[in-house]
Structure 1
Amino acid sequence: MAYNSFMSDHQNQHVDTLKKCINRGVKSMAVFGLSGSAQSYFFSEVLADLDRPCLVILPERKDAERLYKELQFFMGGSETGDGSPALRLHQFFSYDMSPLTGLSPHRELITRRIRALYALTSDNNPVVITSVEALCFRIIPKESLLNSLEYFETGEEVDRELFLRGLEINGYQRTSLVEERGDYSVRGGVIDIFSPLYPLPVRLEFWGDRLESIRQFDPISQRSMNQSKEMILLPAGEIVMDEPNISRARSMGRLPRQPEDGMGFPGQEAWLNHFYPHLDTLLEYLPENGIITFIDPNRMESEGLKIEKRFHKDEEKFREESAGKGAPFPDIDGVFVPFSEMTQQFEGYQRIELAELNLGKEGEPGKATGDMGSQKTIEIRGHFQLEVDLEVRLAKKGRVSMAPFANRIASWLQDRSRVIITCSTEQQANRLKEILANYDLHVAGIARGWDKVPETPGLTLCLGRLPQGFTWPDMGLYVVSEDEIFGPKRAMRRQKKRVRKGGLSWSSFSQLKAGDLVVHEDHGIGRYGGLLAMEIAHKMNDFILVEYANNSRLYIPADRVSILQKYAGAGEGNPRLDQLGGYSWSITKQKAKKSVRKIARQLVELYALRKYRKGHAFSPPDHYYREFESTFEHEETDDQIKAIEDVLDDLASEQPMDRLICGDVGFGKTEVAIRAAFKIVADGKQVAFLVPTTVLAEQHFETFKKRFAPYSIEVGVLSRFKTRAQQTEVIGRLRSGRINVLIGTHRILQKDVKFADVGLLIIDEEQRFGVRQKETLKKYRALWMCWP
C-alpha cells in the first residue's frame, strides 16, 4: 500500500486501538475530538490496512464530496491512477434534483453510482462514500445489476448485432465520438465504449464477429493506449430496458411515456419500482462483513427529517401539477424510504462514529473515557483547526507581505515539526518555493503526492488538491492548503484543439445558412444558395450553389468545399455581389495587394526604427510579483503560462516589446495583461490600456480594480460615461503620476491626455478601431512598449 504515515507511536495508539476493536468484532466504536481534514487523515490511516468493504455516510452531499477529495489526497492518488489506493474510493451521491421533476440526472452521476454498486458486490475492500439523502432512495435490485453484466475477452466470437442491441438496452447512447461514460460509437469493425467501470473508454476491434483486441483510449485525443485481454461491461443506467422489464412496467399502469426496446424517457428514475418486482437500498449491497462509518452522526437525524419534509413538499407540488395536466404520477412509497426506518438496518453491521464532539442524549458534551455502555470510545484531544491569517499589509508600493505567515512556519520548523503546503500544480509549487526563499525558508523538495512526502522534519511542498489543512501539534504535523493562503482557485474553461484550414471544413460548412455570403478564391463574393442534388452523366451528385450578380449561378462539387470561405469583411452592411466573368473581383484583389504592399513598407520603416531604438529594460519578477500572481483565482492554462512568460521576457529586454496575444473570449488574455501591468507599475511606470468601446472600458476597469484591490495601485478610466469634470480630474491625476493604470477608449489618444511616465501600451481588439485611431497608434508604437 502506498500510504504515508506521519503518526508518532503515541498517536498511532488511537489508530491501533480502533483497528483492534474492528478485528475483535466490537459492534459500535466512536472517535471524538477530530474535525475537518485532520479527521480525514486519521480515517485514511484506519483504511490503510482495512481489507473489508466500508460504507461511509455523511449528513449532506457537500460533506460527502469534501471527504471524497480529502481521502483521494491522503490515499495517494486519483481515480485515474493505475494501482493507486484511491481506486478503492467510490462515490454514491444523491441525485442533484428531485426524481419527481420529470427530469433525469446527468449520466456521469448515474454511472458513478453504478460503479459504486458493482464495487460493493465484487471488490474485497471498496470504500463507498454517500450521504443521508442517497440512502433514502431505493435502487436497482442487486440481482438485476449482476444479471446485466457482460464479460468479454479477446479471441471470442461475439454476435455484433446482439452486442449493439445489448448496449441500447443497458442505457448506452450512440454518439459519433465517445467522450463521456455511457457513450458508444460504431465505425466499421471498431466499437468504442465508455463503461462505468473504467477510468478510460475502451476500443473493441472486430474481424467479422471475432473480438481481435481490447484497448483503452484517451477520450480527448482519441488515441489508443494500453491493451487488455478482457473487459467487464456494466449497465449505464439503473433501469435495464429489456422486454421483461418493459412488459412489467406497462402492466403496472400508465407511464409518462411508453418505453420502447432500449429507449428510456426523462425522469424514469421516479418510476423505478414499475420495472422491477422489488427494489433494494444501498445497505442491501453492503456485504455482511462490511463496516459502516458515520461522520458527524449528530447531524444525521435532523438531516433525515429535513429530507423527508422536502420530499413530501415536492410530492404535493408535482402531484398537483400532474393532475392539472392529466398526467400519471409515480408511487413515491415504492421509491422513498425515511431515514428513521433505515437506522434499523444499521444494527447488523459493525459501526464507527467519527465526530468532533461527544454529545450526550440531551445534546450536551459527554465524556469519552473508554467504554460507554456497549460502545468503545476513543477521544483525541488537541486543536486541529488551522487558522491561516496572513495579516496582509499594504506597503508603500502596494506590495503584499507574507511575513507573518512565514514567521509561523519558521516557529513550527524550530520545533522540528513537519510542515507540508499543498499546491494544485507544479507551476504554483515553484512559485511558492521562490516566495518562501525570500523569507529564508528552505523547501526540502516538491513531493508528487502525499505518499512521496518525506517522514523527516522540514518544509515540503506537496502536489495535490486539498481544500483545507489542519494542525496536529502533538504529532508535530502542520498541513496548509494553498487555498488557505491565496484563496480557492477555479479551473479555466478549456477547449479541445482543432486544426483550422484556410477553406471551409465540412463542420463549418454545415453551419452556413442560405443567404450567407461566401468568397470563392477565383470568382469573388457570392451568396450561398444551399446544397443541391443534381444528375450529371446519369449519376446523382451533391453541388454547392453560389449565386452572383445578374442572377448568375455557380455550381461547385461538394468535395471542393475548401475553395470557399465564409465572408468576414469589416464595416457595416453587406458588400456588392461580384459578377461571374467580370473584372470587379480582379480589381478588388489588385487594390488589396497594393494596400498590403503599402502596409508592409510602413511596417518595415516602423520596425526598423524600433529595432535601433533602445527601450527600458524592466526588472525580472521578484517574490512580490510571485505573491501577486499566486492570488489569481483560476488555474492557469499551459498557453496562458507560456504567454505570461514570453511577455515578462520581452519586458526584461532593452528591445521595445510589440507582442500580439490571441485567444477566444474567456480564455485568460486579460490576466496576461494584468500581470504585465503589475510588473510595469511595480517598476514605477504607468500603463495605458486602450479598448474600442465604452462598455469594454468599464468591464476592464472593474476587473483591474478588483484584482489590484489589496495593493496601492490606482486604476482610472476615461470614456463617455464620465462627465467633463470627472475626465479633467482623471487627466490631472494621470499627469501627476497618481493614476498608475489608465483604461479608456480612443479618448486617451487625444492631445490633452498626458502621462507622467508611461511604460506600456496595451491595445484590446485593435481590429475594431477606425483608420484615424490606427494612424495615431502607429506613432505610439514607435515610442512605447506595445501590446496589440
Structure 2
Amino acid sequence: MSISGLLQAFDDLPAFQEFLTALDGSEPVPPLELPMSARPAILAKLLAARRVPTVLLTGRVDAVGNWMQALEMWLPSDISAMRLPEPTPLPYDRGPWSERARNGRLQVFTQLMAGQHPQIPAADTPPFIVTSARAFLQKTLPKRRFITATRVLRVGQLIDLEKLAQTWLGAGYEWVSVVEEAGQFSRRGGILDIFPIAAAYPVRIELFGDEIETMRFFNPATQRSLLVDGSSSIDRVVVPPAREALPEVARAYALTLSDTIAANRPDNLPSWQDDLPHMSEGNAFPNLEYYLPLLYPQPGSLLDYLPSNVQIVVDDWPALETAVRELHEHADQIANEQPSLPPNYPSPIFEWEMVATDLNWWQPVVLGSGEAGDRSEERPFLGLADAFDPGPRYGGQVRPLMTQLKTALSDNERLVIVSRQSARLADLWREETKTTSASTLVNITPLHHRQSNQRLHTSSPLHELNELPENGTLTFVNAGLAEGFTLVRRDDNHTLLNLLTDAEIFGWNRPAPRRWRPQRPAAPEAQFADIKAGDYVVHLEYGIGLFQGLVSRNIGGMDREYLLLKYANGDVLYVPAHHADRLGKWVGTDDRPPKMHRLGEKSWTAAKAKAQKAADELAGELLELYAARETIDGHAFTPDTEWQIELEAGFPYRETEDQLRVIAEVKADMERAQPMDRLICGDVGYGKTEVALRAAFKAVMDSKQVAILVPTTVLAQQHFNTFRERLNAFPVTVQMLSRFRTQAQQQRIVRGLKNGRVDIIIGTHRLLSDDIAFKDLGLVIVDEEQRFGVAHKEKLKQWRTEVDVLTMTATPIPRTMYMSLTGVRDISIIDTAPQDRLPVQTYVGEADETRLKRAIMRELDRGGQVFMVHNRVQSISIVYKQLQKLIPEAVIAIGHGQMSERELERIMT
C-alpha cells in the first residue's frame, strides 16, 4: 500500500518550492529542522522531484528499519529504497559476515557503479540507498579493485574456461555442483552456470568451443529456463565480485600475514594461523572479511562509489554524531580487550573527522538538526518546518474525533486517516453521520481476506492512494504510519492536509507490514548432491551403513553403476543406481556416529519388528478415541466475519506463504462438523502463535470459549500479553490462570469461565484442575503438548472427542510425529522463516567476560534485548553485579522461579 498521492499536497506549498530552488544554488542548504513525522514525506517528495542518485544517512542501526518501513508507504511505485547492510560482527570482532550482509553490500555497490563502469549501463531509475553510521564508516573494497574484479560477458565473446573459473574464484564466488544461491557458479562440460551477486536470477552460459553461443536466465529451484520480460535469452551479463575481501588479494597477502604471525609468535595468533592455509590457497573462507583492513592499504568507502550528481541526505546530525561516537568507543574497547591483536593493526572503520570533512564537501541536506553552531537562526531559514503542525491527540476517545472530523469537513479541509482499524473507524463515521454524500465522501481501501479475497467496503475503493483526494473529503487508508501531521500553507494559513494515524487516534501505532520476498525452494538435484562419500545412510532392508560413493561394475558384459555401502566387519553392499530410492541419509540427534549393522544379522530385522509392534499398540490405543471423533458431530464454525478480516489486516507483519496455507487449513477444519485435531509444527518465531490467535478469535466470533494450555508460567504470560495487545480493539475478554494470579483472582476467573464472561483463557496445568468448567468451550489450543504429564494428557484425550483441538510444537516427539505422518492426526508445517529473520548463530566457548560483553553490546547497539540464562538461583545476584560492572549503560533485571508472583510478573511485563 502506498500513499504517495499525498505528496501532491506539497506542490501548493511555497516553502517546498523555495527548498528545491535552494538545492540548485551553490550555497549549502541550512538544516530543515523538520519533525520526525514529516521527514519521510519530504524525502519522498524530494526523490520524486529531483530524480538523482540519493543516499540517506542515519545514526543507529534500528533507525534504518524504521525509515525503510516509512518510505515503503511514501515512495512512488517507480522508486525503491535499497539498504546498505552493516557487517555482522562489531569492529575488531573476529567473526564471519552473514550472507545477507555480504551480498546486500555488494548489490548496493553494483547499483551505484551503473553508469560509472565503462561496461555497466546506467539504470532507468537512479539508485536510492539508506544506510546507518555503522555501515557507512566500514572500510571496503577500493573502487578500482571493484572495477577490475567485475566481468561483463556477451554472446559471441571468446573466453578461456579455466581462466574464467579461476577469476571467479578469486572474486569470491563458490564453485558448486548445483547453483542455488547468489555467489555460486558451476561448470558441466561446455555449460557454465553463474548466479551474479547483483542479479535476480542465475544465468546459464552455453559454449560452442570457446565462444559464448547463448545465455539465458534459469530458475534455481527447477534448473529450467526462465522467462524474464517475455524472454529467457540475454545478450550480456554483469558479474561483480562476490566478496569485499577478495580471495585473490588475500592470496597475495598470505606471505605478509605469515611474517606477522612469526613476529608475534604463532601461539599469540592461533586463529590467524588456522586461516593462513586458506589465504595461501586463495579460498573464500568465512572469516575472510576480518582481514579486510590489512588487504587494502588504501581502502574504499561508500563515498568513493557515489556518482558526481548524488544527493546526500542526513536524518539528524547530532544523532549521527552520537552513533559515531558510540561506535568508536565500542571499537576501542574491543581492540583494547584483544591482547592478541598485533600492533598497528588498522581500524576496520574510518575516523569520523576525515569522513565528516568529505561528507560536508557534498553539501548534504539535513532533515533534522544540524551541527553545533550551525543553527538555522544564524543562516537564511527556509521555513519548511513551520508548515508542519502535530496532529491532535484523542487517546482512543472516539467522540472528540468524530466532532473534529465534522468541523474539518465543514471547513472544506482534506482529511486522510491511515489506520490499522480503518474499517471500524469508517463504520463509526457512517453511524455518526448517517450519510455518504459527496460532501463527506468516504474512500475506503479494499481489505482483502487473505484466502477468500472477500472485500469489506467498496465505496470508492482505492488499491493505491496515488492521487491527492479533493478538499472536503475524508479518506480512510488501511495501513500503518508512525505519526501524522497537519500541513499548513503559512502565507494564508490554509490547511493543505490533515493526516491522522493510530498514534494520534489511539495513542499507539503498529508498523507497516514487511514486504515479503518469497524464498526459493531447493533444487531437486540438491537432495542427491547432499549425500556424499563418507555419509551414513539407512537401507530399507539392510540397515545403517557407510556410503563409499558411486562405482561402475561390469555385469554380464554391461557396465552398470552401483552405490557402494560399507557395513560392520568389512561387509560390502552394491546397490543398483535405480534402487537409490531405498536409501536415506542417516540423521541423528547428535554428532556421534551411529552403530553400523552387519549384513545378514537379525538386529535390523528385530528393530523394525519392534517398531512395527509399537505402531500396532499405538493404533489400538487410538482406535477408540478417533472412532468416537468420527461419530460425534462437533461445532461447525461459520465463515470469517468482518471483524475477523479486520483483525488479520491489523497483523503488523507480512505473513509467509506457509502461514497463509496453515491458517487456511485450520479454518477449513473449524468450519467442518467433525472435531478438529491438527498439529502445527514450526520453528520458534515462525508464526505459530499468530495462527493460534486467529483460530481463537474465529471461535469467539461464534460465541465459543477458547482454552490455551501452555507448559510454563512465563510462556503463559507471554501469550497473555500477545493476545491482550492484538485483541484490545475488540470486545473480547482474555484472562490468564497461573501462579501470577492470587487466589481471589483465580476464583473470579473460574467463575467467569462458568458464566461465559471469559472468552479466552490462557493457563498452565491449572486449566486441567477439576474445578475448571466452561459454559461453552469450542476450541482448545495446546502449546508443546509433549511437556505435559500422563494425567494431563488423559484430560486432553477427553477434550479431543468433544471440541476442536489445535496443538503447536517446535519439537514434536516421535509418537506425535508418527501419528501425524500416518494420517491419524492432521499436520501443518511452517518451515519458512519470516522476512528479515536472520539465522541463529551458536557459539560455544569457555567463560569469557570479553566475549560476553561483546555479544551483549552487539545486541544493544541494534536496539535489541538480551536474555541471559544462569544455572543457579543462589549465585544469580553475583552474576547480576558482574554484569552491572561490565556493562554499566545497560538496564538489567533478575527473574527466577523463586521470586514472588507479583515481582516476577512486573519484570516480565
Bin of the TM-score, shorter chain as denominator length: 0.7 to 0.9
- Bigger drift between 768-777 and 621-630 goes to 768-777
Match of 2:95 in 1: 103
Cα distance in 2 for residues equivalent to 1:46 and 1:508: 50
Letter in 2 for 1:315: A
Among 449, 452, 470, the alignment partner of 2:466 is 452
The answer (yes or no) to whether the contact 2:630–2:674 under 8 Å persists in 1 is no
Match of 1:80 in 2: none
Q: Measure how far apart 1:39 and its partner are.
A: 1.8
Q: Measure how far apart 1:587 and its partner are.
A: 11
Match of 1:229 in 2: 235
Among 386, 393, 396, the alignment partner of 1:391 is 396
Among 768, 774, 779, the alignment partner of 1:760 is 779
Among 373, 377, 380, the alignment partner of 1:367 is 377
Letter in 1 for 2:17: D
The answer (yes or no) to whether the contact 1:44–1:71 under 8 Å persists in 2 is yes
Tell me, what secondary structure is at the counterpart of 2:377?
coil
The answer (yes or no) to whether the contact 2:85–2:105 under 8 Å persists in 1 is no
Q: Does 1:381 align with 2:386?
A: yes
1:425-440 to 2 correspondences below 5 Å: 432-433=422-423, 436-437=426-427, 439-440=429-430
Change (3 A) 1:210 1:663: farther
Letter in 1 for 2:497: G
For residues 151-189 of structure 1, what are the alpha-carbon distances to aligned partners after superposition, in whole Å with 9 as ceiling and x for unaligned?
A: 111232222221111111112223455455433344554
Cα distance in 2 for residues equivalent to 1:777 and 1:266: 48
Change (3 A) 1:405 1:743: same
Cα distance in 2 for residues equivalent to 1:494 and 1:54: 28
Among 344, 351, 357, the alignment partner of 1:338 is 351
Match of 1:81 in 2: none
The answer (yes or no) to whether the contact 2:532–2:547 under 8 Å persists in 1 is no
The answer (yes or no) to whether the contact 1:59–1:131 under 8 Å persists in 2 is yes
Match of 2:365 in 1: 353
Cα distance in 2 for residues equivalent to 1:139 and 1:165: 22
Match of 2:692 in 1: 673
For residues 729-759 of structure 1, what are the alpha-carbon distances to aligned partners after superposition, in whole Å with 9 as ceiling and x for unaligned?
A: 8766644545544567888678765433333
Q: TM-score normalized by structure 1?
A: 0.73
Change (3 A) 1:728 1:527: farther
Match of 1:397 in 2: none
The answer (yes or no) to whether the contact 2:316–2:370 under 8 Å persists in 1 is no
Q: Does 1:74 align with 2:87?
A: no
Q: Does 1:478 align with 2:492?
A: no
Cα distance in 1 for residues equivalent to 2:607 and 2:62: 66
Match of 2:873 in 1: none
Q: Does 1:663 align with 2:681?
A: yes
The answer (yes or no) to whether the contact 1:202–1:217 under 8 Å persists in 2 is yes
Change (3 A) 1:174 1:597: same
Cα distance in 2 for residues equivalent to 1:92 and 1:33: 25
Q: Does 1:562 align with 2:560?
A: no
Tell me, what secondary structure is at the counterpart of 2:95?
coil
Change (3 A) 1:449 1:706: closer
Match of 2:630 in 1: 607
Change (3 A) 1:90 1:775: closer
Match of 2:46 in 1: 46
For residues 337-364 of structure 1, what are the alpha-carbon distances to aligned partners after superposition, in whole Å with 9 as ceiling and x for unaligned?
A: 4322334435654x24334457872x8x
Change (3 A) 1:384 1:217: farther
1:495-510 to 2 correspondences below 5 Å: none
Tell me, what secondary structure is at the counterpart of 1:28?
coil
- Bigger drift between 13-22 and 579-588 goes to 579-588
Unaligned stretches of 5+ residues in structure 1: 78-83, 393-401, 569-573
Cα distance in 2 for residues equivalent to 1:487 and 1:565: 46
Tell me, what secondary structure is at the counterpart of 2:430?
coil
Letter in 1 for 2:340: E
The answer (yes or no) to whether the contact 1:180–1:194 under 8 Å persists in 2 is yes
Match of 1:57 in 2: 57
The answer (yes or no) to whether the contact 2:735–2:761 under 8 Å persists in 1 is yes
Among 295, 317, 332, the alignment partner of 1:297 is 317
The answer (yes or no) to whether the contact 1:56–1:293 under 8 Å persists in 2 is yes
- Bigger drift between 14-23 and 624-633 goes to 624-633
Letter in 2 for 1:475: L
For residues 642-689 of structure 1, what are the alpha-carbon distances to aligned partners after superposition, in whole Å with 9 as ceiling and x for unaligned?
A: 544565566567x35435354334444443333333343455443345
Unaligned stretches of 5+ residues in structure 2: 262-271, 432-441, 447-460, 489-494, 588-594, 808-909
Tell me, what secondary structure is at the counterpart of 1:171?
coil
Cα distance in 2 for residues equivalent to 1:509 and 1:581: 22
For residues 671-725 of structure 1, what are the alpha-carbon distances to aligned partners after superposition, in whole Å with 9 as ceiling and x for unaligned?
A: 333333334345544334567xx44x87357414641364762545589x99999
Letter in 2 for 1:236: A
1:589-604 to 2 correspondences below 5 Å: none
The answer (yes or no) to whether the contact 2:153–2:238 under 8 Å persists in 1 is yes
Tell me, what secondary structure is at the counterpart of 1:32?
coil
The answer (yes or no) to whether the contact 2:6–2:466 under 8 Å persists in 1 is no
Letter in 2 for 1:757: D
Q: Does 1:173 align with 2:163?
A: no
Match of 1:238 in 2: 244
Among 652, 656, 666, the alignment partner of 1:637 is 656
For residues 523-573 of structure 1, what are the alpha-carbon distances to aligned partners after superposition, in whole Å with 9 as ceiling and x for unaligned?
A: 6xx7524336799768894344678xxx998947264353367999xxxxx
The answer (yes or no) to whether the contact 1:33–1:382 under 8 Å persists in 2 is no
Q: Over the residues paired in the alignment, what is the CA RMSD in angstroms? A: 5.4
Tell me, what secondary structure is at the counterpart of 1:140?
coil
The answer (yes or no) to whether the contact 1:390–1:404 under 8 Å persists in 2 is no
For residues 19-51 of structure 1, what are the alpha-carbon distances to aligned partners after superposition, in whole Å with 9 as ceiling and x for unaligned?
A: 33333x323112524232522222222232425
- Bigger drift between 589-598 and 104-113 goes to 589-598
Cα distance in 1 for residues equivalent to 2:576 and 2:344: 51
Letter in 2 for 1:162: K
Letter in 2 for 1:317: E
Change (3 A) 1:307 1:152: same
The answer (yes or no) to whether the contact 2:640–2:698 under 8 Å persists in 1 is yes
Letter in 2 for 1:637: T
1:505-654 to 2 correspondences below 5 Å: 520=540, 527-531=543-547, 541-544=562-565, 555=573, 557=575, 559=577, 560-563=579-582, 579=602, 606-610=629-633, 621-626=640-645, 628-630=647-649, 632=651, 634-645=653-664, 647-648=666-667
The answer (yes or no) to whether the contact 1:70–1:466 under 8 Å persists in 2 is yes
Among 501, 507, 510, the alignment partner of 1:487 is 510
Change (3 A) 1:6 1:727: closer
Letter in 2 for 1:487: R
Letter in 2 for 1:293: V
Cα distance in 2 for residues equivalent to 1:713 and 1:783: 23
Tell me, what secondary structure is at the counterpart of 1:476?
strand
Cα distance in 2 for residues equivalent to 1:563 and 1:251: 50
Cα distance in 1 for residues equivalent to 2:702 and 2:416: 33
Tell me, what secondary structure is at the counterpart of 2:153?
strand
Q: How many equivalent pairs are there?
A: 723
The answer (yes or no) to whether the contact 1:28–1:376 under 8 Å persists in 2 is no
Cα distance in 1 for residues equivalent to 2:742 and 2:65: 51
Change (3 A) 1:650 1:438: farther
Change (3 A) 1:699 1:302: closer
- Bigger drift between 468-477 and 727-736 goes to 727-736
Cα distance in 2 for residues equivalent to 1:289 and 1:143: 20
- Bigger drift between 125-134 and 232-241 goes to 125-134
Cα distance in 1 for residues equivalent to 2:239 and 2:767: 64
Q: Measure how far apart 1:381 and its partner are.
A: 0.8
- Bigger drift between 444-453 and 32-41 goes to 444-453
Change (3 A) 1:510 1:209: closer
The answer (yes or no) to whether the contact 1:135–1:339 under 8 Å persists in 2 is no
Letter in 1 for 2:630: Y
The answer (yes or no) to whether the contact 2:716–2:738 under 8 Å persists in 1 is no
